[in-house]
Structure 1
Amino acid sequence: MPSSQRVVVVGAGIIGLCSAEALVRRGAAVTVIDRGGATRDGASFGNAGLIVPSHVVPLAAPGVLGQGLRWMAQRDSPFFVQPRLDLELVRWGWRFMRSATPRHVELAGPVLRDLHLASRALHLEVAARLPGAPPVEERGVMILCASLAALRDEEVTAERARTLGLRAEVLDAAGVRARMPGLTLDVAGGVHYLDDAHASPRSLMVALQAYLVGAGVEFRWGRVVTGLERSAGRVSGVRLEGEVVTASTVVIAAGVASSALGSDVGARLPMQPGRGYSVTAVDPPERPAMPALLAEARVAVTPLAEGVRLGGTMEITHVDRPVDHARVRGITRSVERYLPAFRSDDLATLPVWTGARPVSPDGMPYLGRLERLDGVVVATGHGMMGFSLGPVTGAIVADLVLDGTSQVAGAASPLLRPERFAGRGRA
């Protein structure tokens, strides 16, 4: 049944398109506005394509900050914060430090589990109903450990996942080889997360966009939303240069740019761009049976229709900073360490993709209605979980817009509340 809602979605990444698709299927009239073009190549396109219920530990966790500080001395490390005089970066770092506690991990685990499991089911539904959508490969994800010390650490994480009802099997080197036949491996062991899956992010983005165009969604490409219009205590539209687009509801799904839109109405949505890198071997020497995550190197290796994608790095930096080829070398060298058939010299010749992911200081998305302005729904800050959580985020957004609330498990958690950092100095 058609809805009277006229919705503007700001942002055409995976979160924005999944939100638009869920809204359109429920009868809303939708306009999507994005500063990029129809053939953009942002963070939603070149990522590892992982659907990961196993990711029950948020980025802000004990030990992450200390490890990150040690890594900062290495130019090819998987984590780097570009030092700069930036008050927002300092505030973000302070909040990250305050959030990285055992209690935060304990509270976040069930919420992330519920969201990822619901999203995995929705990924399968989207693949079944959307023309041109890529298949969802339900083979799990293998964590590969080069050392016994790393394997012991991963055993602790696997036990946490099992206590949350997820399937995780710890394997020795022989067990890993048995599950990844035909792959040359130099590992001490691994953990197989059987509830995980993967799909091609680019193919899904293309299919979503084509469906939305066919469904009559209006796209405004190359336009920047500069602020929100208000009338009688609620949102009434968005401001573009020289134009106002009216709306009964606005969905802020613009990645890192969402912070500025929140500030326009007094809502604090602290985020930093976390740039990732990937290369895709179109003609790989070997093809893994399932995706692998290289534990010590923090690199993902994903078999996709377009080739084997190798991706990693969390680089907190300006989005327009030039590509740091030392980070790319860090990825390719680490892959050769675990998978000797993938020679670093060969991988170094591949084209490099980069994308800036919106990273909140507590590692949790901003997902919910703004309390200070009626008619605004925020859906951003997913960090490295955007592809995995895209469909469930879209479903929750549609619920919030059309019903005012969502019954999806985890959706009402205060850990997702957009204005959780509203107090001055709060973490």
Structure 2
Amino acid sequence: MKSVGIIGGGVSGLFSAYYLAKENVEVTILEEGNFEDGCSFGNAGMIVPSHIIPLAQPGMIAKGLRWMLRSDSPFYVKPRLSGSLVKWGYLFWKHSTEQHVRYSIPVLRDISLLSKRLFQELAMEHEVAFGWKEKGLLMLFKDAHALPEMKEEAHLAQQAGLEAQLLSGNEVQALEPNVRVDVAGGLYYPGDAHIYPNQLVRNLLAVLKAKGVRILENVAVQDFDIQNKKVQAVDTSNGRYCFDEVVVAAGAWSADLTQKLGISLPLQGGKGYSFMAKPESQSIQIPSILLEARATATPMGGGLRFAGTLEIAGTDTSVNMNRVRGIHSSIQNYYPELSIPFPEKESVWRGLRPCSPDGLPYIGRVKHLSNLTLATGHGMMGVSLGPATGKLVSEIVSGKKRSMDIAPFNPDRF
């Protein structure tokens, strides 16, 4: 029986283990921390085939430079002396073009639709409970000046075969009868969905254990033994492990690990924050993105999860409450009657999204190591793309026909 070691216990690693276990493969997951610390656990929980425009796009750098002047802004690059940050920034700038957006749209659409289809299959099988709901997604905008941008986004989505409806403020309100919404309008994507990530992670772990997957927490990978263009062994804080195949799915820490393998992987951690709240009476029915604030609101677990910000800060996991304040202060701008107390610092979750400079994930083998597969770089869509990533990893490792063309995700593309 083939043995596979998966480094990283986020959604990409867990789904890789899930689909590999179905192929009768012996799977071990090595997780440096515990599973409730990972980026997947406190995610906004949105499953978003609508997200077909990559982070690297025209105008994003100019917006980012303006936002950097505000301590509560939704996007921030922490200044620091770092060659890897300079390289990442150059590649981001190089890919912030209309041509790259046009190239990325069908690629992101296809992997997102594959992932949604797999989520639907999982929901029907009832093997893993994760609060699957197909209620769509609302992109809400306060300022009527955003209308041309929203029209263009709707047009791009429709061209790509996705349903997108541009709504007036009154039409948005009709979709949310239980809470007042104060917006100029919204873009509604009925094909999107949402889940409860905490439930997904916990229940997926239970299913994996039942399938015989070995799950090791608090095990840090320290080095690799490489011989004959293969990873022969993984040296950890818990001893040495030998596998036939190795999968690196370590999120924002993947770049540090791949460096030990002789791979220079352009990747930066994009820190985001979230917190839960239980409104006393009114509540939101449909997940929303608050456009100007770049924050999100998702109904889950009997309450609401608010999330946001993208802070390019390497692997710094400290909590900046000014960023949290920016998320919190935006809520009543869009939902004026929703009374949400400011969260205590201890209740704020933070996680690092692994951001590639072109907005496309890294999924595939690398040239110089025949038994290594990467599964990282999903940015803010790690949970949304989790099942598709896991399925593709299992196909790569088992040598089966791919569910889609993975060439755009080539880890060696830079």
**Shorter-chain TM-score category?**
over 0.9
User: 1:2-401 residue pairs with structure 2 within 5 A?
Assistant: 4-37=1-34, 39-241=35-237, 243-343=239-339, 346-349=341-344, 351-401=347-397
* Cα distance change on mapping 1:216 and 1:242 into 2, 3 Å: closer
Distance 1:132 1:20 in 2: 14
Gaps of 5+ in 1: 422-427
Moved more, 301-310 or 261-270: 261-270
Q: Percent identity?
A: 40
Q: Residue in 2 aligned with 1:424?
A: none
Q: Which moved more, 1:366-375 or 1:129-138?
A: 129-138
User: 1:228 touches 1:261 (CA, 8 Å); kept in 2?
Assistant: no
AA aligned to 2:413 is R
- Which deviates more from structure 2 when the two are superposed, residues 330-339 or residues 257-266? 257-266
Whole-angstrom distance in 1 between the partners of 2:337 and 2:232: 57
2:93 alignment partner AA? M
Alpha-carbon distance in 2 for matches of 1:355, 1:227: 24
Q: 1:285 & 1:147 partners in 2: Cα distance? A: 28
Deviation string for 1:168-197 (max 9, x for gaps)? 000111111111211211100001001110
Q: What does the per-residue CA deviation read over 1:291-326, in whole Å, with 9 as the maximum and x for residues that have no partner?
A: 011111111100012410110000111433531111
SS in 1 for 2:70: coil
Shift of 1:406: 4.1
2:223, 2:260 within 8 Å by CA — same for their partners in 1? yes
State the distance in 2 between where 1:59 and 1:286 align: 33
- In structure 2, how many angstroms separate the alpha carbons of the residues matched to 1:297 and 1:284? 24
**Range with greater deviation from structure 2 (289-298 or 225-234):** 225-234
Counterpart check, 1:412 vs 2:409: no
Structure 2 residue matching 1:175: 3-state secondary structure: helix
Q: Considering only aligned residues, what root-mean-square deviation do their CA atoms show, in Å? A: 1.5
**Is contact 1:268–1:419 with CA below 8 Å preserved after alignment?**
no
Contact 2:252 2:315 in 1 (8 A): no
Structure 2 spans left out of the alignment, 5+ residues: none
Contact 2:176 2:285 in 1 (8 A): yes
**1:371 Cα deviation after fit:** 1.4
Task: Report which stretch shifted further, 282-291 or 69-78.
Answer: 282-291
Kindly provide the amino acid, as one letter, of the partner of residue 46 in structure 2: L
Paired residue total? 413
Residue 88 of structure 1 aligns with an amino acid whose one-letter code is: S
C-alpha displacement at 1:289, in angstroms? 1.5
1:218, CA displacement in angstroms?
Answer: 1.0
Give TM-score scaled by structure 2 length.
0.96
Q: Deviations over 1:231-283 (max 9, x none)?
A: 33322231214732111100000012211222222222111110001111134
Structure 1, residues 126-184: CA drift from partner, whole Å, max 9, x if none?
22335451231111101111011113211111110100000000011111111121121
Which SS does the other structure have where 1:120 is aligned?
Answer: helix
- Alpha-carbon spacing, 1:399–1:132, altered in 2? closer, same or farther (3 Å): closer
Question: Partner of 1:227: helix, strand, or coil?
Answer: strand
Deviations 1:177-223 (A, max 9, x none): 11121121110000100111000011000011011111111112111
Question: Is 266-275 or 388-397 further displaced after alignment?
Answer: 266-275
More displaced, 22-31 or 320-329?
320-329
SS in 1 for 2:85: helix
Distance (whole Å) between structure 2 residues aligned to residue 171 and residue 194 of structure 1: 12
Check 1:348–1:246 CA distance in 2 against 1; reply closer, same or farther (3 A cut): closer
Secondary structure of residue in 1 paired with 2:385: helix
Secondary structure of the equivalent of 1:190? strand
Partner AA of 2:172 in structure 1: V
Partner of 1:425: none
SS of residue matched to 1:139: coil
Q: Distance in 2 between matches of 1:8 and 1:363?
A: 26
What whole-Å deviation, never above 9, does each CA across 1:48-106 have from its counterpart, x for those lacking one? 10000000001111111110110000111100111111121111111111111111110
Which amino acid in the other structure matches residue 35 of structure 1?
E
Which stretches of structure 1, 4 residues or more, deviate above 6 A after TM superposition? none
Query: Which shows bigger deviation, 263-272 or 170-179?
Result: 263-272
